[in-house]
Amino acid sequence: MNTKFLDNVLLALVIIGAINWGLIGFFRFDLVAFLFGNMSWLTRVIYALVGIGGLYMISAFGRIHSRKK
Give the pLDDT confidence of 1-44 residue by residue, as tens digits: 677 888 888 889 999 999 999 999 999 999 999 999 998 999 99
E strand or H helix at 33, and its extent? Answer: helix 31-36
Closest CA to 60 of 20, 4, 19: 4
Q: What is the rounded CA–CA span in Å between residue 49 and residue 29?
A: 20
Neighbours of 54 (CB within 10 A): 14
Instruction: Give the domain ranges of the chain.
Output: 3-67
* Distance separating alpha carbons of residues 12 and 25, to the nearest angstrom: 20
Structure confidence at residue 64 as a pLDDT band (50, 70, 90): confident
